[in-house]
Amino acid sequence: MDERVLALCELSNDMLFHKIPREQLPFYVDESLKAGRETARTLAGRDVLELYRESGIAIREGGSGKRSYGLILRGQATMGKEGCSVEIYRDSIEALSLHSGGDGEAALTYDEALRVHLAHEYFHFWEYQNDCSVVERLPAVTTLSVLGLHRKARINRCGEVAAHAFAKELLNLPDLPNLYDYRYLIDTGAMERAAFDRLCAEMAALLPAE
Ligand SMILES: [Zn+2]
């Protein structure tokens, strides 16, 4: 599937999505994808579990994933001076893997789904450890203009798009991995396939044809 469309699907979840000038949407999509992809290329061929070991990021088995805004939380990342760690919710990752197939593609195995999650989180650790936040690097958008004063804010979901692109590149995935989240939602009945198709068509219409 078109990765720019999937990236825009992710971006559309941002609270400030509608504040991004339409003509700048491709810029935010492309820059976010590029940031994730280029970081992954510096680590090409590396095993994600090895990257965790080397960076001293602990992986802990957590309890059950808590539901948050209708989506299951698959893990919780902690970053701080006392160290970085990620807590993994085994049952949530298993549920995602079971429902991650579709469009003629086989579902991910548990191990693959775990690696997708770990690679995504690793990108956020990398941003933190290198003090190199994608969200902060991209220009802020104006959220309010009153009497010549402009209030500006950052687009937080750009960091998610970059993390998806990082995971895709590092793990050599066929698609941006938020596609697995949509398949999960569709397969478990939380989202209708037609609604997803509508969303994709809507997002594709916002991007100029390449
Ligand atoms: Zn993330």
Q: What is the pLDDT of residues 66-115, one digit of tens each?
A: 555 445 566 678 888 888 899 898 888 999 999 999 989 999 999 999 99
Q: 146 alpha carbon to ligand 1 midpoint, in Å?
A: 33
CB 143 within 8 Å of CB 151: yes
Is the torsion defined by CA of 39, 40, 43, 47 positive or negative? positive
What are the tens digits of pLDDT across the range 168-200? 999 999 999 999 999 999 999 999 999 999 999
Q: Which two tokens stand for residue 123?
A: 């990108």
CA of 174 to the centre of ligand 1 (A): 19
Distance (angstroms) between ligand 1 centre and the Cα of 151 equals 26
Confidence of residue 208 (pLDDT cuts 50, 70, 90): confident
Determine the structural domain holding residue 128 and report its residue range: 3-206
Q: Which residues surround ligand 1, an ion (CB under 5 A)?
A: 160, 163
Taking a C-beta distance cutoff of 8 angstroms, is the pair 142, 151 a contact? yes
Q: Per the structure block, which two tokens stand in for 133?
A: 């936040």
> Domain count of the chain?
1
* pLDDT value at residue 66: 58
pLDDT digits (tens, 9 = 90+) for 13-67: 999 999 999 999 999 999 999 999 999 999 999 999 999 999 999 999 876 655 5
Check residue 82 and give its pLDDT: 82
* Element of type H or E holding 77: strand 75-78
The mean of the pLDDT values for the chain is: 92
Percentage, residues of the chain above pLDDT 70:
93
133 CA → ligand 1 middle, Å? 12
Token pair recorded at residue 162 = 């970059």
Looking at residue 11, its amino acid is L
